Structure 1
C-alpha cells in the first residue's frame, strides 16, 4: 500500500515536470519589463505592433537620425542623381568634424576625392558623422537644404512624430557643430519610437540593400579597419560574443552622450519572419540597449506565430447576402477578397472578429446594390478587429488591417420588360397596401 502511494506521488510529479517542459512559457506584453524610456516591436510583413512602451513620445534619437540620411542617399542613387562611383571632396566643416574624436571620426583627408560607396559604408557601418555631412552636401548642395528634404520625406512617409535639424543626429549646440541654415543652435532631432520603427520599415522595404551594409561587423575604409557599433552582429571579438543574436542584420545605433541616451533600432530575420525593434533612452552601459533588444526579439519570435485567422472567401454569418435592385437575381453573396493572416499569440485566435463596411456609394437609399454587378467587384472593406486587452495597433496610420469586400458572383441587369413588370407589381402592391390600411382604419 505504501509502495502504491509512493509511486503515485512520483507519477504525479513526473507529469507536472513533463507539462512544464512541453508547454511554452507564455508572457504577456504587460509582464515585459523593458528598461528604456521608450520601446517598440513590430512585425515587418504586417506592420502590427507586438509590444509598445511610450511609443508616441518624441525623443532625441541621436545617430538613429542617420536612417533618414541613408534613405535619401539611396533614393538619390535610385533616381540617377548620383551613383556609387560618384566622387566628391569634403568641405572644411566636414573635415573639422572628422578631426574631432568625439564624433566617430574616421579621419577624412582634405583635397582627396572619396566615392559615394566609401562614404556610405563609413556612415552606415561606423556611424561616421563627417561622411554623413559630406553625403548630405553632395545630394542637396548644403546640409540646410538636405534637412528640408529630410522633413519633407518624413511627412511623405507619415511619421507621426519627427523633427530633423541636421543630417547626423548630433546636437546643434555640440562643440564644433554648425547648425544647418534654418535651424537653431539649441535644437535637436526628434523621433518617437513608432516613428523610428516606421522609418526603418520604409528604409528596409524600399531599399533592402541597406541591410548589406548594416550587417557588416567591420569594413576597411581608406586603409584602416572601421567597426560597426551594433554588438549584436557576429563580431570576431570574445568580449562581444554575449551580445550576438542570431538573425540580426541591422540597423542603427545612437548615443546622445547623456545618462539615458543609448538608442538602438534593430532588425532581425528568422525563418522568413522579420521583426523591427526600437529601444530609446536606456541608462547604464552602452550594452544594455542590446540586452533589451534581445528580450524584445525573443518575445516576438517565441510568443507569436503567423496564422491565417480568416481565409479568402470568408463570410460573416448572417451578413453574407446583400439585396440587389434592378437585377436578374434579387441577392448576391459577399466575402473577403483575401485572407487575414497575422502574428498571433497562442490562445488569442478567438479574440479576432471581422466587421463589414459597405461603401455607401455602391448602394441606394434602401441599402441595396444596383445591378449590373461584376463578380469580384469591390463593394466595401472588411476590418480585422481585436477584442482583447493588449492591442497596440500598427505603425501605419490607417487603423486596423482591412481587405476588400467583394461580390461572389455576377448579377446582370434585368431587361426592360422584367423591370416594367416589377414596377407595375410594385405599383399595385402599394395600392393594395393603401386600401388595407384604409379598411383597417374603419375598425
Structure 2
C-alpha cells in the first residue's frame, strides 16, 4: 500500500532551505565567472579616468580602474599600426630599406607645430626604418600614416587591417578610424572616407594592454627602439630633426625614476584622450604592462601621466609579489588526497604536474586554489591506480585573481601507484 508523506512545517522549512542553498551556490558561481570592472587590492586610487596593470605573459591583472570602458587612446593606437608594419616586414611584404615619399598634403601636415611630427618634404624618399623609428620615438603622425600606406596601399585599407587585427586578437569594442590616433578634424582631406569628421580611435585600458601584450610577445625587438631617449631623424642629411622621446620616464629624461626600469612603450595625447601612457618594465624577471588613460591634474602639467604611472606601479608592486603556488611533483596545498576504491591504500596523495607561479597579494597568507576532478573520479578512483595518473586540474579559487586571458590551470596527478586488493578481500569488505 502506498502511503502519502505528511508535509509538516519542518519538512517545508528544510526543503526551502535546501533550495535557497542551491540557488546561492549557483548565484555565487555566476558572479565569480565575471571579472569585476575595478580591482583595487590596496585601496590605491590612481589619478586617471582609467588604468590597468597586468603581467605581460600570463595576463594576470594586478590593478584595474574602469578598465573595460572604451576611451580615446590617441597615439597609443600607433602600437597596432607599428605591429602591422613589423608583421609586413616579417612576412617579406616590405623591407626596412624600402622608401616612401609624402605628397604635398602629407608634407604640409607634417609641418604642423601643434602636432607631434618630424618635418617631411614632399617628393623626398624616406626609408621604412626612418619612419618606423620616428613613429615610436617621437610619435610622428605623418610618418606612421606613410607606413600604413606602404603596407596596405591606402589609409582606408590600412585601417581595415588594423580593425581585422584587433578582431583576430578578440578585441571587439575598439573604434579605429585612422593609423595615427589623431582626431579626424586635424586630418582634413587626409581622413579616411566614411569616418566621422570628429571621430577618434577608442579602446579600453584592457584592450590597450592586450595590444601591448601582442606587440611584446611577437616582436620583443620593439624595446630596442622604444627605450631610445634621444635620436636624430635623418642625421647628417637635409631635413634632420632632433627627437626626444615623449616617454619622460626613460633614463636621462625629466621624470626618470631609478626604481622603475621602464623601457617603453607608447604615449598618447589629444583633447579628447587627455594625457595617456602605456608603459612596460621588467620586475624580477616578469614583464609588466601598465596603461593610464586621461591622467588627471592641471591642464598645463605635461608630467601628470608619468606621475600617475609611476605611483600606480609602485603601489602595485607594494601589494603583490611573484611566487610559487604549486611545485611540480609536490603535494597540493593542504595535502589534498583522493579516495581509492578497492585499493591497498584508502587514499592517494595528489601532486601538481608542473610548477605554477602567480602574482600573490602580500597581505594574503597564501594563494588559495581549488581542485576540479574529472567526472569519473568525483566519487574516488578505483584501484589499480597508476603513478602520475592525471585525474583533474587545479586553478586559482579567488574570484578577484583576474586574468585578461583564460585563467591558467595545472594538471593534477596521483603521487604514486596503488595496487588493487585481492578479490576475497574486496568481497569481505563488501559483506562486512
TM-score by length of 1: 0.76
**SS, match of residue 185 in structure 2:** coil
Match of 1:343 in 2: 359
Match of 1:89 in 2: 101
**SS, match of residue 382 in structure 1:** strand
User: Which segments of 5 or more consecutive residues in structure 2 lack a partner in the other structure?
Assistant: 1-39, 235-239
Cα displacement (A) at 1:220: 1.4
State which of 247, 256, 260 in structure 2 corresponds to 1:230.
247
The within-5 A match list for 1:42-441 is: 42-159=54-171, 161-176=173-188, 178-222=190-234, 223-235=240-252, 240=254, 246-258=260-272, 261-283=274-296, 284=298, 285-312=301-328, 313-315=330-332, 319-321=336-338, 323=340, 334-350=350-366, 352-360=367-375, 363=376, 376=388, 378-386=390-398, 391=400, 393-396=402-405, 398=406, 400-409=407-416
Whole-angstrom distance in 2 between the partners of 1:225 and 1:383: 51
| TM-aligned CA distance change 1:357 to 1:89, over 3 Å | same
| TM-aligned CA distance change 1:353 to 1:246, over 3 Å | closer
**SS, match of residue 73 in structure 1:** helix
Cα displacement (A) at 1:38: 0.5
Cα displacement (A) at 1:372: 9.4
Please tell me whether the aligned partners of residues 340 and 383 of structure 2 are also in contact (alpha carbons under 8 angstroms).
no
Cα displacement (A) at 1:323: 4.8
| TM-aligned CA distance change 1:276 to 1:177, over 3 Å | farther
**SS, match of residue 101 in structure 1:** coil
Cα displacement (A) at 1:368: 6.3
Q: Deviations over 1:151-201 (max 9, x none)?
A: 222122233642222111111233525332453334321111111111112
Please tell me whether the aligned partners of residues 57 and 213 of structure 2 are also in contact (alpha carbons under 8 angstroms).
no
| TM-aligned CA distance change 1:429 to 1:344, over 3 Å | closer
Please tell me whether the aligned partners of residues 335 and 349 of structure 2 are also in contact (alpha carbons under 8 angstroms).
no
Match of 2:26 in 1: none
Match of 1:15 in 2: none
| TM-aligned CA distance change 1:411 to 1:135, over 3 Å | farther
Task: Name which of structure 1's ranges 368-377 and 45-54 shifts more when overlaid on structure 2.
Answer: 368-377
| TM-aligned CA distance change 1:368 to 1:281, over 3 Å | same
Please tell me whether the aligned partners of residues 106 and 122 of structure 2 are also in contact (alpha carbons under 8 angstroms).
no
| TM-aligned CA distance change 1:367 to 1:169, over 3 Å | same
Task: Name which of structure 1's ranges 157-166 and 30-39 shifts more when overlaid on structure 2.
Answer: 157-166
Cα displacement (A) at 1:407: 4.0
Please tell me whether the aligned partners of residues 338 and 347 of structure 2 are also in contact (alpha carbons under 8 angstroms).
yes
Whole-angstrom distance in 2 between the partners of 1:188 and 1:324: 64
Cα displacement (A) at 1:255: 0.6
Cα displacement (A) at 1:142: 1.4
Whole-angstrom distance in 2 between the partners of 1:370 and 1:73: 57
Look at both structures and tell me which one has the larger radius of gyration over its CA atoms: 1
Cα displacement (A) at 1:70: 1.5
| TM-aligned CA distance change 1:356 to 1:178, over 3 Å | same
Cα displacement (A) at 1:244: 6.9
Q: Deviations over 1:367-424 (max 9, x none)?
A: 566899875454432111227xxx361222x2x3322223445689x9xxx99x89xx
Cα displacement (A) at 1:92: 4.5
Q: Deviations over 1:241-267 (max 9, x none)?
A: 566764011111111124x61101111
Whole-angstrom distance in 1 between the partners of 2:317 and 2:227: 20
**SS, match of residue 314 in structure 2:** helix
Please tell me whether the aligned partners of residues 337 and 404 of structure 1 are also in contact (alpha carbons under 8 angstroms).
yes
| TM-aligned CA distance change 1:374 to 1:97, over 3 Å | farther
Cα displacement (A) at 1:130: 0.6
Match of 2:7 in 1: none
Please tell me whether the aligned partners of residues 319 and 363 of structure 2 are also in contact (alpha carbons under 8 angstroms).
no
User: Which segments of 5 or more consecutive residues in structure 1 lack a partner in the other structure?
Assistant: 1-27, 434-443
The within-5 A match list for 1:6-45 is: 29-45=41-57
Whole-angstrom distance in 2 between the partners of 1:302 and 1:160: 33
